[in-house]
Structure formats: structure tokens, C-alpha cells
């Protein structure tokens, strides 16, 4: 893109380099005051002088009606942003001055062609009522009633852009109103002004309208400019298409300007491949975001789910606001029930993140939906556990959390049993891999002979006593997984009717079979052995980032066993086309928990 740079040299000034995109330039500089750090811009081609239709009637909406106020607004904004620019330059690579520029707001406006009815000022309400609200121009920040430039005692009623002519307008109105307006036109009480040009300023434009002016590329579709994003407190997360990358800073700024809660915009730069499920990101809009202690990106933000508040560093821990309903559902459906023997429900959250299951489960505040469980929380990411502890403190539920551990989930589950900690529920929310962790975590977990041999008889006695009679009330495992959609849309689709219901049944069945397959329940070993899997170590995953399955894995499940396997599966969300997240909840089967086969024996059978 063509551009011009202005450099202002001043020892102490924050002004260094200002980049002006040429296609947007309609300003020239009249004065640069280094002392006051003010840059005074004057319109060198306002809409009126550059418009080929300058003879037409025109109006500006209130927020941009005066060019001097536009200039002062611009000066104000630039001055305030300059206070951050030095730090930004050094601290934030993503926003260094070598990046493409942010545009000038005053250069972005839209000229809307419509038509108006000029009416006597005193008759404004009468004609406005006759026309009806729905036929007047509807745009935020644009008043559909304008004072006439030429006759101060007259008002112009701006007509909705849906109507391109008077006849179209009149034919859409009730007959009586039509004839009153026609008569008024005949007697010149009402005058039709067509065309009537309305200048809609930056503040009143939609995100798409603003970006369209900055990004004229044909390959960028309007849909790409709608500005869909996931909001995590003050941070908006976007996934920009490649074609938009040269304009990422402008995109980030418009998105933040149009969404008052957004302060920082980050773009996902590639697929999530790390074990902590934190995606690689780049800040494309916002203040400096570098942690001074370690020089790394840090995006501390606050989110709310239900009646609980969480703080987290979005650059370092996993968070997905779209799981809010699922967090609440699991708690309401399972953790409020008392165990058979009575007493407090004990929960093990093996991949707890920053605590969206732990906090409501542990909270004893029933008015907030707290379940008053005793919770053992664990996550491999030390940052997650750090924020978990902070969130327990903020939500006043630390006393119900027995521990917040940094460990591998598989090892942690087995350690809990050995220590004689009997949990009623285990949550496994790592959908990419949790099914592959089932056997390593739970196979033979309650085979106390084995516990005795590999952990010493003392430990075994504690564990045996704690888990005595567990068969009558086995722990429930809530395992999240991904299944593929088989239909052409590949996912849940938008439909609500029979087709959507049928798809949901399919996803539930596939998820159930996937869990059975991984637990080797109802799976003829010889058929299952054909399955191609790379991840065969007993940490479940062996460096892979996503569990996979072949269609025949699911088809191999024995129908009678499937009917017998007690489980409740719930479709959580459509993550991507052909990738559906499902939660499978089931009581840990006796044959899995008490088997004498070691996890590696079982994995070898797969
Ligand atoms: C999908 S996130 C879910 C976090 C949280 N339950 C939630 O709903 O927001 C999965 C979490 O598992 C953690 N994790 C990944 N591998 C793990 C492992 N082997 N053991 C324990 N935690 C693990 C990640 O750090 C991440 O916080």
C-alpha cells in the first residue's frame, strides 16, 4: 500500500513517526507543535469539496458535523495514544512502528444517497407520524430529522434507504397518508429533495463498512469483515484469514472501536499444538502486553461465568468462554447429588485449567449455584494452577479445595487412589486426548493386590479401606472427546428439526462407542488390533496432540455390550466443521477398575 511518513524530531517528544496511508489522505498539516505534542490537521479535501455532487443537498450526522471538532477529536486521540507509543515500540513487537499503520478515523466516512421530504419546521411531528418510524432513515448516530441548510424554518425528513423513489415510498404507505402527502406536495407545503446525500462518519459506521473502505480487496468477502470474535474479558480473539493479515492493525482497531468492552485484540497465528492448549497468538491492537519479569506476552483479564468471576492470563492458560453452559450443566447435573453413603461429594478435576468446574463445584454458596463439593484439582500447566488458586481466593471457596496440584492427569488419578482418596467424580476435560488417557488413568486402579505390590502394603491398606464397597457406588468419569460428523455439513448444523436431532443421536452414539473402544469394552481384540494408532505409550498421547479413530473402531463394538454399558453422553458444541465435542459420563466399569491387566497390557491389545 502506498504511504507517506511524517517524522517529527524532538528530544523529549513521543512523536516519532506517523504513517499516513495515501488512499485515505484528505488532510494536510497546518501546524506541528512539538512542545504541546499537538499535530493540527486540517481537512484538505472534505467531503463537500471532493464530492462530485457538491451541488446536492447534504448533511452530516451530529458527531461529524464540524470539521474543527473532527480535528480536535483527532488531535485528542493522537495525543493520548502517543503517551503509550514509546513503551509500545520497545515492549510489544506486535505493535512496533514498523507494522502497517492505523488509519485516520476522520478519513473514514460513508456517503449515503437517499431522499428527503422538506417540511415546515412546525409540521415536523405531523409528517413524521404520517410517514411512520419504519420509513425514516435508521442508522445509529444519524438523526433522521435534519435542519435544512437553506431554510432554517424547514426540516428534512430523511427516508429509509429501502425506498429509492417517492412513488415507492407512497405505495408502501396507508392510502389516507399517501393522499395527504400528495396534496402537501401539490401545494408545495412539502418538497421532495432527491438525491439527498448523508455523510455518515466513522463512529456511526458498522465494522464492515469501515473495513471495506480500508480493505478494498475483492478476495476479501463481506463476511470476513463482520468482525466475529471470542470475547475473553477485555481481550478479543480473532482468526484472521491470510488476505486480511496486511490490514491486521486496522482490523484490530476498528474491532476495538466498535466494541467498547474490547481493549486488546489478538489474532491466532497457527493451530493449537501445545499440551497446555494455549494457541500461538499475536497482539494486533492494544496497550503494551509484556510481563516485565520474563519479557513474555501477558494478557491478564477477568471473565464471569454464572455468578463466579475468574482472572486469567489469556496468553498463558487455556480459556474458552463458549464452555460456560457446559461448566454449569455438569455441575448442576452431577455434583449436587449426594453420594449413596451420604456426606460431601468428592470431585477430582484432572485437567482443571483455571477452575471453571472447580470453583462452582467447591463453592458452598448455594445462591450462586455452588455445589459444596470437596475438590482435588490438577493441571499440568503451572500457570493454570496459579490462576486457579487466585480464583479460589476471589470466589471464597479455597477451604473446599483439598489440593491444587501440578501433575500429569494420569499419574495424579492413580496417586489419589493410592493415597486412599475416594472420589465420586473425575472430570477429564481435555477433549483432544482424554479418551486416550482413560486406560492409563483407570485401568486396574482398584486392583488392590497390584497396589500392594507396587506401592507397599501400608498404602494398599489405606486404599482398600477407603475404596471398600466401591463396586456399589463406582466413581463417575466425565470424559470429553471429539467425534466427527458424517453428514455433509459435518457438524450439528443450524437446523433444529429432525435432521439435527438425528445428527445428535449419531454423535452421542459415536462418542459412547469411542469411549467403549478405548476402554476395550465390547471390542473384539483381534478387530481392534487393526486400528492404526501412533500414540501407544502409556501416558496416552506420546506427543500427539489429538486422539484419532477409524470408522471400524466404532463399528467393532458389540451391540449387546453397548446396550449394557451405562453412560450418558451430551453433545457440547460444534467446534469446527466435522468436529463435535461430546461429554461422555459413565460409572467406572468394574472390569476396567479391577482388572489385573496393566495399562500397557490393555494398550497392547489395541
Ligand atoms: C481443554 S483445557 C480445559 C481446562 C478447564 N477444565 C476448562 O474447562 O476450562 C485442558 C487443560 O488440560 C491441561 N492438560 C493438558 N495435558 C495435561 C495432562 N497430561 N495432565 C494434566 N493436565 C493437562 C491443560 O493445561 C489445560 O489447562
Instruction: CATH number of the domain at 156, please.
Output: 3.30.70
If you measure from the C-alpha of residue 318 to the centroid of ligand 1, how many angstroms do you get, rounded to a whole number?
7
Beta-bridge partners for 303: 310
Binning pLDDT at 50, 70 and 90, where does residue 32 land?
A: very low
With the most atoms of ligand 1 within 8 angstroms of its CB, the residue from 351, 384, 431 to mutate is 351
- What is the band of 288 on the pLDDT scale with cuts at 50, 70, 90? confident
Helices (H), 398-447: 409-418, 434-442
In a domain, 194, yes or no: yes
Q: Is the CB of 429 under 6 A from ligand 1?
A: yes
Arithmetic mean of pLDDT, 50-56: 32
Give pLDDT, residue 354. Answer: 98
In a domain, 601, yes or no: no
Cβ 544 under 6 angstroms from ligand 1? no
Residue at which a domain ends, from 270, 298, 326: 298
Nearest CA to 225 among 260, 252, 199?
A: 252
Residue 514 has pLDDT above 80, yes or no: yes
Cβ contact 349:391 at 8 Å: no
Q: Is the model's pLDDT at 92 over the cut of 70? A: no
Q: Which of 178, 204, 230 is the endpoint of a domain? A: 204
Count of domains forming the chain:
3
Q: Ligand 1 atom 5: the closest Cα is on which residue? A: 353
170 labelled ligand-binding: no
Bigger pLDDT: 445 vs 261 = 261
Residues 8 and 97 occupy one common structural domain: yes
Cell of 489: 455439513
Instruction: Please give the pLDDT value at position 46.
Output: 29
- Tell whether 429 is in a known binding site: yes
14-28, 105-119, 148-162, 426-440: least confident range: 14-28
Please indicate whether residue 380, judged by its CB atom, sits closer than 6 Å to ligand 1. yes
**Mean pLDDT of all residues in 30-51:** 28
Instruction: Decide: 192 and 181 in contact? Cβ < 8 Å.
Output: no
**Joined grid coordinates for residue 112:** 449515503
Whether 102 and 8 map to the same domain: the answer is yes
Per the prediction, the chain carries an average pLDDT of 79
What does the alpha-carbon distance between residue 234 and residue 300 come to, in Å, rounded to a whole number? 9
Ligand 1 within 6 A of CB of 351: yes
Q: Is the CB of 305 under 6 A from ligand 1?
A: no
pLDDT score of 524: 66
In a shared domain, residues 17 and 41 = yes
Q: Write down the residue that cell numbers 517529527 correspond to.
A: 8
Strand residue runs (E) in 189-341 = 191-201, 230-232, 235-238, 264-268, 281-285, 300-305, 308-313
Please tell me whether residues 93 and 143 are part of one structural domain: no
Cβ neighbours, 10 Å, residue 602: 21
How many Å lie between the centroid of ligand 1 and the Cα of residue 352? Answer: 6
Task: Please tell me the distance between residue 482's alpha carbon and the centre of ligand 1 in angstroms.
Answer: 15
Please answer whether residues 363 and 397 qualify as being in contact, where contact means their C-beta atoms are separated by less than 8 angstroms. yes
Q: Say which DSSP state 408 is in.
A: -
Residue nearest to atom 25 of ligand 1 (CA): 276
Residue 316 has pLDDT above 80, yes or no: yes
The residue whose CB lies within 8 Å of the most ligand 1 atoms, and thus the one to mutate among 313, 323, 379, 547, is: 379
99 and 15 belong to one structural domain: yes
pLDDT of residue 220: 85
Q: Given this model, what pLDDT does residue 149 score?
A: 86
Dihedral angle of Cα 515, 521, 526, 532, to the nearest 10 degrees: 10
Split at pLDDT 50, 70, 90, the class of 545 is low
Residue 8 and residue 88 in one domain: yes
Whole-angstrom Cα distance, residue 198 to residue 161?
11
- Find out whether the beta carbon of 383 lies less than 6 Å from any atom of ligand 1: no
Q: Are the C-beta atoms of residues 88 and 288 closer than 8 Å to each other?
A: yes
Assess if residue 80 is contained within a domain.
yes
**Residue 227 in domain:** yes
Ligand 1 pocket member 401 (CB < 6 A): no
Task: For residue 94, report the distance from its CA to the centre of ligand 1, in Å.
Answer: 28
> Which of 289-293, 322-326, 458-462, 538-542 bottoms out in mean pLDDT, i.e. has the lowest?
538-542
Q: What's the confidence (pLDDT) of residue 73?
A: 27
Q: Which of 273, 279, 313, 318 to mutate to test the pocket of ligand 1 (most atoms within 8 A of CB)?
A: 318
Is 544 among the domain residues? no
d(Cα 421, Cα 265) in Å, to the nearest integer?
43
- Verify whether ligand 1 is closer than 6 Å to residue 379 (CB atom): yes
CA 286, CA 262: separation in Å to the nearest integer? 9
194 and 235 both lie in a single domain: no
Pairwise pLDDT comparison (274 vs 362), residue with the higher score: 362
What is the span of the domain harbouring residue 200? 109-204
End-to-end CA distance of the chain: 56
Mean pLDDT of 450-463: 77
- CA 68/CA 46 separation, integer angstroms: 11
Q: What is the pLDDT of residue 522?
A: 82
398 with 448: CB under 8 angstroms?
no
At 135 the pLDDT is 96
Q: How far is CA 303 from CA 245, 289, 322, 324, 488, in A?
A: 28, 18, 12, 11, 36
Give pLDDT, residue 591: 85
- Find the range with the poorest average confidence among 3-12, 179-188, 319-328, 439-448: 3-12
> 275 lies in a domain?
yes
Is 575 within the bounds of a domain? no
- Nine cell digits for residue 181: 402527502
Model pLDDT, residue 282: 96
Q: 184 and 241: one domain?
A: no
pLDDT, position 603: 60
277 lines ligand 1 (CB under 6 A): yes
Instruction: Give the pLDDT score at 209.
Output: 92
From ligand 1's centre to the CA of 123, what distance in Å?
Answer: 66
* Distance between CA atoms of residues 273 and 544, nearest Å: 9
**Least trusted range by pLDDT, from 17-31, 204-218, 374-388, 509-523:** 17-31
CATH code of residue 220:
3.30.300.110
Are residue 92 and residue 139 in the same domain, yes or no?
Answer: no
Domain identity same for 134 and 81: no
Same domain (yes/no): 175, 140: yes
Tell me the percentage of the chain whose pLDDT exceeds 70: 76
DSSP annotation of 133 = G
Closest C-alpha to ligand 1, atom 11: 351
More confident residue, 358 or 65: 358
* Nearest residue to 527 via CA among 602, 605, 597: 605
> Residue 380, annotated ligand binder?
yes
pLDDT > 80? residue 199: yes
Task: Please indicate if the annotation marks 327 as binding a ligand.
Answer: yes
**Residue 273 has what DSSP assignment?**
-
401 bridge partner residues: 375
Average pLDDT over residues 502-513: 94
DSSP state of 424: S
* Residue 352: HSE in the Cβ half-sphere, 13 Å Cα cutoff: 36
Q: By CB neighbour count within 10 A (0-12 exposed, 13-18 middle, 19+ buried), where does 118 fall?
A: buried
Do 13 and 103 belong together in one domain? yes
Last residue of a domain, one of 107, 130, 157: 107
Q: Let me know if residue 11 belongs to a domain.
A: yes
**pLDDT for residue 181:** 96
Is 315 annotated as a binding-site member?
Answer: no
- pLDDT for 430 beyond 70: yes
**Is the pLDDT assigned to residue 54 strictly greater than 90?**
no
Q: How confident is the model at residue 221 (pLDDT cuts 50, 70, 90)?
A: confident
Amino acid at each position: 500500500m502506498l504511504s507517506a511518513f511524517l517524522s517529527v524530531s524532538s528530544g523529549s517528544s513521543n512523536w516519532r513517526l506517523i504513517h499516513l496511508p495515501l488512499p485515505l489522505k484528505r488532510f494536510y498539516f497546518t501546524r506541528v507543535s512539538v512542545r504541546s505534542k499537538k499535530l493540527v490537521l486540517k481537512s484538505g479535501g472534505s467531503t463537500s469539496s471532493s464530492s462530485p455532487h457538491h451541488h446536492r443537498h447534504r448533511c452530516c450526522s451530529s458527531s461529524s458535523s464540524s470539521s474543527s471538532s473532527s480535528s480536535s477529536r483527532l488531535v485528542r486521540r493522537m495525543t493520548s495514544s502517543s503517551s503509550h507509543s514509546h513503551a509500545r515500540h520497545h515492549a510489544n513487537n506486535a505493535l512496533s512502528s514498523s507494522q502497517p499503520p492505523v488509519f485516520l478515523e476522520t478519513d473514514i466516512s460513508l456517503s449515503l444517497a437517499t431522499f428527503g421530504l422538506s417540511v415546515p419546521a412546525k409540521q415536523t411531528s405531523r409528517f413524521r407520524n404520517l410517514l411512520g418510524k419504519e420509513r425514516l432513515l435508521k442508522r445509529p448516530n444519524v438523526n433522521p430529522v435534519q435542519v435544512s441548510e437553506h431554510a432554517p424554518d424547514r426540516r428534512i425528513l430523511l427516508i429509509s434507504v429501502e425506498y429509492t423513489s417517492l412513488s415507492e415510498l407512497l405505495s408502501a404507505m396507508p392510502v389516507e397518508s399517501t393522499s395527504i402527502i400528495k396534496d402537501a406536495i401539490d401545494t408545495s407545503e412539502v418538497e421532495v429533495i432527491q438525491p439527498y446525500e448523508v455523510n455518515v462518519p466513522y463512529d456511526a459506521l458498522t465494522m464492515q463498512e469501515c473495513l471495506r473502505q480500508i480493505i478494498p480487496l475483492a478476495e476479501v468477502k463481506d463476511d470476513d469483515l463482520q468482525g466475529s470474535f471470542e470475547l475473553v474479558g477485555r481481550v478479543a480473539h480473532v482468526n484472521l484469514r491470510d488476505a486480511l493479515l496486511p490490514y491486521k492493525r486496522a482490523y484490530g482497531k476498528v474491532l476495538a472501536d466498535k466494541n467498547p468492552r474490547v481493549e486488546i485484540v489478538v489474532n491466532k497465528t497457527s493451530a493449537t499444538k501445545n499440551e497446555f492448549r494455549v494457541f500461538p497468538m499475536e497482539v494486533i491492537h492494544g496497550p503494551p502486553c509484556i510481563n516485565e519479569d520474563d519479557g513474555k506476552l501477558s494478557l491478564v483479564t477477568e471473565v464471569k461465568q454464572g455468578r463466579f468471576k475468574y482472572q486469567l492470563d489469556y496468553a498463558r492458560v487455556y480459556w474458552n468462554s463458549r464452555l460456560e453452559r457446559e461448566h454449569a450443566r455438569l455441575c448442576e447435573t452431577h455434583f449436587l447429588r449426594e453420594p449413596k453413603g451420604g456426606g460431601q461429594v468428592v470431585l477430582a478435576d484432572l485437567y482443571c485449567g483455571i477452575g471453571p468446574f472447580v470453583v462452582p463445584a467447591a463453592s458452598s454458596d448455594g445462591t450462586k449455584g455452588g455445589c459444596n463439593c470437596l475438590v482435588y484439582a490438577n493441571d499440568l500447566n503451572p500457570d493454570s494452577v496459579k490462576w486457579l488458586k487466585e480464583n479460589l481466593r476471589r470466589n471464597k471457596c479455597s477451604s473446599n479445595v483439598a489440593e491444587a496440584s501440578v501433575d500429569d492427569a494420569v499419574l495424579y488419578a492413580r496417586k489419589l487412589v493410592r493415597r486412599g482418596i475416594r472420589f465420586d467424580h473425575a472430570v477429564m476435560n481435555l477433549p483432544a486426548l482424554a479418551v486416550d488417557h482413560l486406560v492409563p488413568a483407570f485401568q486396574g486402579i482398584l486392583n488392590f493386590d497390584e497396589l500392594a505390590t507396587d506401592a507397599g502394603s501400608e498404602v494398599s491398606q489405606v486404599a482398600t479401606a477407603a475404596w471398600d464397597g466401591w463396586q456399589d457406588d463406582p466413581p463417575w468419569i466425565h470424559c470429553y472427546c471429539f467425534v466427527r460428523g458424517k453428514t455433509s455439513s459435518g457438524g450439528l448444523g443450524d437446523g433444529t428439526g429432525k435432521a439435527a436431532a438425528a445428527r445428535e443421536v449419531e454423535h452421542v452414539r459415536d462418542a459412547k462407542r469411542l469411549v467403549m473402544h478405548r476402554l476395550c469394552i465390547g471390542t473384539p481384540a483381534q478387530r481392534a488390533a487393526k486400528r492404526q494408532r501412533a500414540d501407544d505409550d502409556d501416558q496416552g498421547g506420546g506427543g500427539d496432540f489429538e486422539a484419532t479413530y477409524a470408522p471400524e473402531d466404532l463399528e467393532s463394538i458389540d451391540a449387546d455390550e453397548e446396550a449394557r454399558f451405562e453412560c450418558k453422553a451430551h453433545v457440547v458444541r460444534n467446534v469446527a466443521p466435522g468436529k463435535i465435542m461430546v461429554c461422555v459420563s459413565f460409572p467406572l466399569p468394574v472390569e476396567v477398575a479391577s482388572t489385573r491387566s496393566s495399562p500397557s497390557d490393555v494398550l497392547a491389545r489395541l
